[in-house]
Amino acid sequence: MELERVQQIASLSKCMDTIPTDYIRSENEQPAVTTFHGVVLEVPVIDLSDPDEGKIVGLISEASREWGIFQVVNHGIPDEVVRKLQQVGKEFFELPLEEKELVAKIPGSQNIEGYGTRLQKEVEGKKGWVDHLFHIIWPPSAINYRFWPKNPPSYRETSEDYAKRLRGVADKMFEYLSKGLGLEPSEMKDGMGGEDLIYMMKINYYPPCPRPDLALGVVAHTDMSGLTILVPNEVPGLQVFKDDYWYDVKYIPNALIVHIGDQIQILSNGKYKSVFHRTTVNKEMTRMSWPVFLEPPPEQEIGPIPKLVNEENPPKFKTKKFKDYAYCKLNKLPQ
């Protein structure tokens, strides 16, 4: 039988110094060859407790234009809430395989929710060294608990608590991003569907890999969300592409990592950049991450905000329903 979960492959290859050829990236993707090792530029870190709101708006706007990614500290979510989220996720992935399979993705279904391994069509048939769990955490009307682990028992309460708190941070981010473009505070969130915004959580589990120089976790991509707000564990691995090089994103305890996704790039008519990123894996340590993708509801039409379009700034993107955008992206069709 072909092993499907990377966690199984990893536990069998622990004592080896090779990995199955399916996981060996072509040279132009291999981290050992393509990671920048000179003077390191750092992804901006922004302190949300600064009393000068204008300064925060300026920093977020600049980071979103130049990098498409930044880290926020003093974001208001208590460390304990994040620590518990990490703990229940880790406990789930450490359960026996059969238990995890109870919440597996439904084969052949359009729904991406559940425990699984591959997400998109693979690049050149190569696989990523990562398993994941996907499920919606907000709004309550969109949640399907069938895909939420029953074990550990506190999984549900912990994830719900995180979702509630994350809403405060997300609302602030949309507000700052609006102001950074000279828009009314609510315009960006309204463009994303307002209170119908969907919070899709993913847990990435990257087991130790005997050849981290040759493999990748998540292959290079931009997120199709509007914004992605991510909690990492302490094992570094996220890299972003800027000015022709891949840069490591430094681990900062208790920070949240905010990615600009495709939908904000479109709404901003290209002023804010959807960040191109990927993840590397580690020889000894298990990396985990908890991105929450803030997505418009499927029927929401997304296009450049009319106020941002004029003669000098013609629309750079088509306006289309989010579900049509997602279909093209997942199937690697032109937008």
Ligand X SMILES: O=C(O)CCC(=O)C(=O)O
Q: Which residues are catalytic?
A: 202, 221, 223, 277
Span near ligand X by CB under 6 A; candidates 18-26, 74-82, 190-198, 230-238: 230-238
State which residue, 187 or 223, has the beta carbon closest to Fe ion. 223
Find which of ligand X, Fe ion, none residue 279 binds, CB within 5 to 8 Å per kind: ligand X
Distance CA 327, CA 110 (A): 10
Contacts (Cβ under 8 Å, ≥6 apart) of 300: 192, 193, 196, 321, 322
Torsion on CA atoms 328, 61, 163, 256, rounded to nearest 10 = 110
Per CB under 6 A, 114 contacts ligand X: no
Say whether 246 sits in a helix, a strand or coil. Answer: strand
Per CB under 6 A, 135 contacts ligand X: no
Per CB under 5 A, 295 contacts Fe ion: no
Residue 240 and residue 69 in contact, taking contact as beta carbons nearer than 8 Å: yes
Find which of Fe ion, ligand X, none residue 9 binds, CB within 5 to 8 Å per kind: none
- What stretch of H or E contains 53? helix 53-66
State which residue, 13 or 71, has the beta carbon closest to Fe ion. 71
Per CB under 6 A, 240 contacts ligand X: no
Find which of Fe ion, ligand X, none residue 202 binds, CB within 5 to 8 Å per kind: ligand X
Span near Fe ion by CB under 5 A; candidates 15-23, 108-116, 125-133, 223-231: 223-231
Distance CA 206, CA 228 (A): 19
The pairing of beta strand 69-73 with beta strand 45-47: parallel
Per CB under 6 A, 202 contacts ligand X: yes
Residue of 59, 238, 267, 326 interacting with ligand X (CB under 6 A): 238
Q: Least CB distance from residue 25 to Fe ion, whole Å?
A: 17
Strand partners, 50: none
* Chain-centroid distance, C-alpha 111: 18
The tally of CA atoms less than 13 A away on the side-chain side of residue 89 is 29
Per CB under 6 A, 175 contacts ligand X: no
Find which of Fe ion, ligand X, none residue 302 binds, CB within 5 to 8 Å per kind: none
